[in-house]
Structure 1
Amino acid sequence: SFSILIHPRETLLNENHKDYKNLILSRLARDSARVNSLNIKLKLAINNIKKSDLHPTQTELQQEDLSTPVSSGISAGSGEYFTQLGIGQPAKPFYMVLDTGSDVNWIQCKPCSDCYQQSDPIYDPTSSSTYESLTCETQQCQQLDTSACRDGKCLYQVAYGDGSFTVGEYITETVSFGGSGSLNRVAIGCGHDNEGLFVGAAGLLGLGGGSLSLTSQIKATSFSYCLVDRNSAKSSTLDINSVQPSDSVTAKLIKNQKVDTFYFMDLTGISVGGQLISIPPQVFAADGSGNGGIIIDSGTAITRLQTQAYNSLRDSFKKLTQNLRSAEGFALFDTCYDLSNLQSVRVPTVSFHFSENKVWNLPAKNYLIPVDTAGTFCFAFAPTPSSLSIIGNVQQQGTRVSIDLVNSLIGFSPNKC
C-alpha cells in the first residue's frame, strides 16, 4: 500500500486576494467552470459523440488530426487539492492536482512549446533514466479518448470544459510515493503544450474509474483520501490499497455504462433536522440512457443537486432556521445568514441517506460556510440545471472517503484525516 500527503490549494498558491470575500468569489467561479466541464463530459458520452466529430484544438499538432473530447479536471485555475509525487529516476518531486473526475495523468514537460507557471521546476525527460515513449499500437495509446501518431510515437490530448487543454507525448515513467514505494511504467502524458487556467501544479493525478487512471493502471483494490478544511495549513493523506475504516458509513457504487470515469453512488434521500425531505427517489438515479445520477467528486467544491431536490432541501432548512437573521444571497448561494453578533449558533443537521438505512451526518461547518469576514454565512448547496448531481469537497471536508474498487462500495468516516 502507498500513502502520500494531500495539501489544500491555498497552502501552495499565494494568490494575493484582496480579502476573504474575493478569495471565496474566485473559488466559486472556478467551481462553476468545473461543474460545467463534468456536465459536458457526461453529455458527450451519453450522445456517443466520437472524437472525430469535434474540431481539433488549434495547436502546432493540428496537422496530426488531434481532436478533443472534453474531460473533467482542472477547470479554471487549477485544482483545489494537491499531492506530491516523485516522477522519474532519480525521482524529482512534483505537485499534482488530485482529481477523482479524470483518468489521464499528465505533467508539463520540457521542451515547452507553451507551459504555464508552476511551483516546481518543469520535468525534463532527458534527466530521467526510466522515461519511455509509448508506440501507437500499445494498449495504453489505444485507450486514450484522443490520440494521434507522429514518428511512431503516441500523442495525447486532454481538453477541459473551460477551454484549457494539454497536448504532448504519451509515455511511461516511474512514479514514487514519498517513502512508501514506487511503481514502474505508469502511463502519463508528457505535456509540451499546456494552455489555460492551470497554474501552480505541475500536472494532474487522475483517480477516476477509467482504465488510464493511476488506480486502474496499478490494479489498486481500493483508495481513500481525506480533504482538510481549505483554510487550514494542515495536510492529510491519499492512501492506496488501504483498509476501509471500520466505522465507515457505506453506499453502493453504481456503474454508468456510458462513462466509467465518474463514481456514481446509491443515494436514497436527504434529511434536515432528522426529517427526510420529499424528493422522488428517481431524482438521484441515472436513467437507461446514462442521464442523471449523483457522483462524488474531489474537484467540485459545492454540492449540486437537481433543482427540484435543491429547492426541497433549501426550503426545509429555511423553515428550521427562521430564528436566524437572513442576509442577501452571495454568488451562487441564495440562502445566507447574518451571524455577526452570535457566539454560537444551533442549526438543523443535514444528512445523506443510503440503502440499508445507512446515514452520513454532515458537520454544520460542511454546509454553513463563511463567505466574508463580517459574519455572513451561506447554505453551501446549489441547484444545477443539468440532471447530474455532484457531492462536492466542502461537504467531504474532514471525512475520509474510501473507494472499495473490488466490492464497489464507497465509505464515509468523519474525523479520519
Structure 2
Amino acid sequence: MATHSPLLFFLLSTYLLFPFGFGAESESYFHVIKVTFLLPPLRCSTPKGSNHHENKKGVLKLDHRYGPCSPLGHHGKPPTLGEILSQDQSRVNSLQSRFKAQFHQVEDTKTTTLPAHLGTLVETFNYVVTIGLGTPKSDLTVVFDTGSNLNWVQCQPCAGASQCYPQQDPIFDPSKSSTYLNISCSSQDCSLLRSATGHSTICDASTSTCVYTSIYVDNSFSMGYFARDTLALTTSDVFTNFAFGCGQSNKGLFGRIAGLLGLGRNALSLISQTAKEYGRVFSYCLPPTSSSNGGYLKFGSGDTTSVKFTPLLTDPNSPSFYFLQMLGISVRGQQLNIDPSTFASPGTIIDSGTVITQLPMSAYVALRSAFRESMSNYTMAPAFSLFDTCYDFSQQDIIIVPKVVLHFGGNVDVDVPLLGIFFIRSASQACLAFAGNSDASDLAIFGNHQQQTLQVVYDLASDKVGFGVAGCT
C-alpha cells in the first residue's frame, strides 16, 4: 500500500475543509497548526531570537510566575487552571465594582459615598521581574501591574508568619541599606498615597513617619512605612530616592513574590517616578506560554517601526487606568455586526493583571457565534469555568482556526495571537478564551492572555498605546 507524505495529508485535509480552494487571500484569515503546538512544554524553553533583549539598558527579563522558567522556584502546588480563572474573575469583579463606585461618586457627590474600604484590585499576579533595592542592593522578584500605582516590598522586621508571608528571596532589611529613608507625614508624597492606594494616609506619631495601607478585595494586604531608597532596574538603570512601601505587616495570596511594581498613571507609580530618564514610555512582551522565558519589560523608547498606535484615552472616574477606543471585532476576515457604541460606554481598558479579555455580552455572543460557525467541523467539548465554547482536538493532528482581530481607534487592527485565541486545559478541552460581561454597564477589558507575543508599547508622553507582532523575538 502506498503511503502518503505529511504534505499530501495536509493538502487533502485542507481540501476537505475548504473544497473551493484555500488561496492566499483566504489563507490570511486562518491559522493552520499542529495540535501539539497548543500544548506548552513542561520544561523551560527559549524562543529563537529572544535573547537580544537581555542585558540591555532599561530591559528586564520577564517570566510567568508559575512556569518552569520562574525565578520563584516551585514551592508547593501551583494553582489549577480553574483556580487561576476564579482569581481572574475576582479581579474583574473588583475592577468593575471600583469603577462603578467611582463613577457614581463623580456623578453625584452630594448623595453618593464611596465605600470606606473599596479595596485595591485583586491581583492575578501572572508575570514577574527581578529588581535591585537598597545599598548594597538586594535582588527581589516582584510582579508588575498596569492597574496598580503603589510600589511595595516586604520588609524586616518580621516577627513571624502573622506579619510576613513566605517569599523566595530574603526579605528586604532596610537597616542594612545606607540609602534607606522614611518619608515624613508632612511630605507631599505622603498626601499622594490616598490617590495611589484608595485609602486614607496614617501617621506614626512616635516617628512622624508616613504609613501606607494597601488592602485588596480578597482581604490580602500590605502595610508599613512609606519610604525612599535606591532602585536598580539594571546595572546601568539606577534611581535614588525611589518612593515605595516598606511593608512590615503583609498577608494574603501573594505566593512567593517579594512585592509589586505599579505601572499605573498615578504620580507615585514607577512610570511617573522614572519619567525624566524614560520619558514616560514603557513596553513589554508577554511570552507565548508559561514555559517560555522570552518575555521582557522595557523602560524607555525603542524600535517601534512595526508598531501601530491607537490613542490612549483618560477616564476622569478612573484616571490611573489605560483606556483604549475599541471599535469592533473580526472573525475569519469578516467584521462582526456589532454597534461601535457597544464599546464606548463605559469604555475599554488594557490591563496586564487581567488574564481573559472581557467583552460586552452582545459583542461576545457575536464573536462566539462566528467562531462556532467557523469551527463546525470539530467536536465540541464540555464547558469549563468561564468558557462555554470548547473543543476536543484529541483525535486531530492539524487544525484550522479562524483568525480573530480586534479593531481600535486610529485604524489599528490587532491580530490576536493563536495561543491567545484558546485557553488550553488539554488536547480534549481547548476553549475560546474570551468571556462576556454579566452587566451592560461593565467595562470591556483587553486581558493579558490575548496580548501574548505582542510588542505592547505605552507612550504616555504622546497619549498612545501601540501593538507590534512577534514582540518577543
TM alignment of 1:5-404, pairs within 5 A: 5-10=61-66, 11=70, 12-14=72-74, 17=77, 23-48=80-105, 54-55=115-116, 68-72=117-121, 74-75=123-124, 79-112=125-158, 114-145=163-194, 146=199, 147-151=201-205, 152-219=208-275, 220-286=279-345, 292-372=346-426, 374-386=427-439, 387-404=442-459
1:173·1:186 contact (CA, 8 Å) conserved in 2? yes
Q: CA deviation at 1:313?
A: 1.0
Partner Cα distance (2:186, 2:402) in 1: 57
- Gap change, CA 1:223 and 1:254, over 3 Å in 2: same
- Gap change, CA 1:235 and 1:123, over 3 Å in 2: farther
Over the residues paired in the alignment, what is the CA RMSD in angstroms? Answer: 2.0
Q: How big is each residue's C-alpha offset from its partner over 1:171-217, in whole Å with a ceiling of 9 and x where there is no partner?
A: 11111012232101111011111121112110000001111110012
1:95·1:201 contact (CA, 8 Å) conserved in 2? yes
1:6·1:83 contact (CA, 8 Å) conserved in 2? yes
- Gap change, CA 1:295 and 1:7, over 3 Å in 2: same
Partner Cα distance (2:331, 2:115) in 1: 44
- Gap change, CA 1:153 and 1:69, over 3 Å in 2: farther
Residue identity opposite 2:349 in structure 1: I
**Does 2:461 match 1:406?**
yes
Moved more, 166-175 or 359-368: 359-368
Q: CA deviation at 1:169?
A: 0.8
Partner Cα distance (1:338, 1:15) in 2: 32
SS of aligned partner of 2:230: strand
1:285·1:294 contact (CA, 8 Å) conserved in 2? yes
Residue identity opposite 1:414 in structure 2: V
Partner Cα distance (1:144, 1:348) in 2: 46
- Gap change, CA 1:82 and 1:194, over 3 Å in 2: same
1:85·1:95 contact (CA, 8 Å) conserved in 2? yes
Q: CA deviation at 1:243?
A: 2.2
Partner Cα distance (2:114, 2:298) in 1: 39
Q: How big is each residue's C-alpha offset from its partner over 1:210-252, in whole Å with a ceiling of 9 and x where there is no partner?
A: 1111001222430001111342141422111122521112211
1:264·1:293 contact (CA, 8 Å) conserved in 2? yes
- Gap change, CA 1:69 and 1:139, over 3 Å in 2: farther
Partner of 2:35: none
Q: How big is each residue's C-alpha offset from its partner over 1:252-277, in whole Å with a ceiling of 9 and x where there is no partner?
A: 11011111221000111111111111
Q: CA deviation at 1:17?
A: 4.7
Q: CA deviation at 1:73?
A: 5.0
SS of aligned partner of 1:70: coil
Kindly tell me the number of residue pairs found equivalent between the two proteins: 393
Q: CA deviation at 1:36?
A: 2.0
Structure 1, gaps ≥5 residues long = 56-67, 287-291
Partner of 2:470: 415
SS of aligned partner of 1:36: helix
Partner Cα distance (1:210, 1:339) in 2: 45
- Gap change, CA 1:13 and 1:306, over 3 Å in 2: farther
- Gap change, CA 1:140 and 1:230, over 3 Å in 2: farther
SS of aligned partner of 2:80: helix
Partner Cα distance (2:255, 2:150) in 1: 18
- Gap change, CA 1:277 and 1:53, over 3 Å in 2: closer
Q: CA deviation at 1:407?
A: 1.0
Partner Cα distance (1:412, 1:161) in 2: 31
SS of aligned partner of 1:370: strand
Q: How big is each residue's C-alpha offset from its partner over 1:358-402, in whole Å with a ceiling of 9 and x where there is no partner?
A: 211112221123112x43210000112241111111101111110
Residue identity opposite 1:359 in structure 2: D
* TM-score w.r.t. length of structure 1: 0.90
1:96·1:204 contact (CA, 8 Å) conserved in 2? yes
Identity of aligned residues (%): 37
Partner of 1:289: none
SS of aligned partner of 1:168: strand
Q: CA deviation at 1:69?
A: 4.1
Moved more, 227-236 or 301-310: 227-236
SS of aligned partner of 1:377: strand
Bigger Rg, which one: 2
2:310·2:411 contact (CA, 8 Å) conserved in 1? no
2:144·2:261 contact (CA, 8 Å) conserved in 1? yes
1:86·1:94 contact (CA, 8 Å) conserved in 2? yes
- Gap change, CA 1:356 and 1:123, over 3 Å in 2: closer
Partner Cα distance (1:15, 1:308) in 2: 42
* TM-score w.r.t. length of structure 2: 0.79
Q: How big is each residue's C-alpha offset from its partner over 1:7-39, in whole Å with a ceiling of 9 and x where there is no partner?
A: 111223526559xxx731122122112212222
- Gap change, CA 1:180 and 1:344, over 3 Å in 2: farther
Q: How big is each residue's C-alpha offset from its partner over 1:309-351, in whole Å with a ceiling of 9 and x where there is no partner?
A: 1111111111111111111101111000001111111111100
Partner Cα distance (2:75, 2:328) in 1: 38
